[in-house]
Amino acid sequence: MNDYLALTKPRITWLILMSTGIGYFFGQAGGFDLFVLLHTLAGTALLASGTATLNQWFERDADARMNRTKSRPIPAGRVSPRNALLFGIALIVAGELELAIAVNPLTAWLGFFTVASYLLLYTPMKQRSWWSTTVGAFPGAMPPLIGFAASRGNLTIEAWILFAIIFLWQFPHFYAIAWMYRDDYARAGIRMLPVVEPDGISTSRQISAFAILLLPCSLMPSFLSMTGHWYLGAALLLGGLFLRSATRLSRERSALNARGVLKASVLYLPLLYAALILDARKLWMD
């Protein structure tokens, strides 16, 4: 059972659920409905877990060639490819039914788009072009839209701002990982940007550019009256620290500085979410 749990990548799923919950919170137009929230989180968790499982099924040969992934359940032989395929499909079907029946059709359609674009576009594109990171950022930023649609029934500018924050955040996060494990990706034939351009100049520029874009984008919730002025200060501070880690990597392209960007990104999003919630106008007005 531990191997099947590992296929679902629970450490990533909790971040997805956190983003979904943020979307649900800011999408509330009426009273808080715990029933709908729980079904939204359950359906999203099932979809995320199934997508992670099928992604590993698709990439089992590449995973077997990379040091960081060769011990995963499928390449290590602890779970057969057939069982992983069936397990992943079952999770996705269950997640779609959960959202369609217990939440609303819009969330089910958003979930379907997320799964389809991740598995049918992003995953195969990783073997062909470094632009796969951009393609993968779209399904990666869908969780707040799913949460928002679950509570509001439609999507407004507030939902798309939450989408944009995660969309931009992903680039420094994943490019830092790609730089740290570029040799592994090269062995597996995965054409990440640091593999295509080994000097790392383009990678560090991309990381800095998206960290710069993220800073003003993260301030928008305050200007849209989603939050108060305390959030504005927190977003400026967190964005500045994130940008500083990106600048260090631009000055010295090393694994240590790339890991610094990764650590900064892992801390940035939960702290930004905490600031969003604690200074939400909706919380204090209610």
Give Rg (Cα) of the chain: 19
Asked if residue 103 and residue 80 are part of one domain, the reply reads yes
pLDDT of 286: 52
Asked if residue 77 and residue 177 are part of one domain, the reply reads no
Mean pLDDT of the chain: 93
Cα(first)–Cα(last) distance of the chain, in Å? 43
Question: Which pTM was predicted?
Answer: 0.93
Asked if residue 114 and residue 43 are part of one domain, the reply reads yes
Q: What is the number of domains present in the chain?
A: 2
| Structural domain of 277 | 156-286
Asked if residue 277 and residue 260 are part of one domain, the reply reads yes
Matching residue, tokens 């877990």:
49
State phi, psi for 197 to the nearest 5 degrees. -125, 85
Asked if residue 81 and residue 33 are part of one domain, the reply reads yes
Asked if residue 5 and residue 109 are part of one domain, the reply reads yes
Asked if residue 9 and residue 121 are part of one domain, the reply reads yes
Asked if residue 173 and residue 109 are part of one domain, the reply reads no
Asked if residue 143 and residue 103 are part of one domain, the reply reads yes
Of 154, 175, 198, at which residue does a domain stop? 154
pLDDT digits (tens, 9 = 90+) for 5-57: 999 999 999 999 999 999 999 998 767 788 999 999 999 999 999 999 999 99
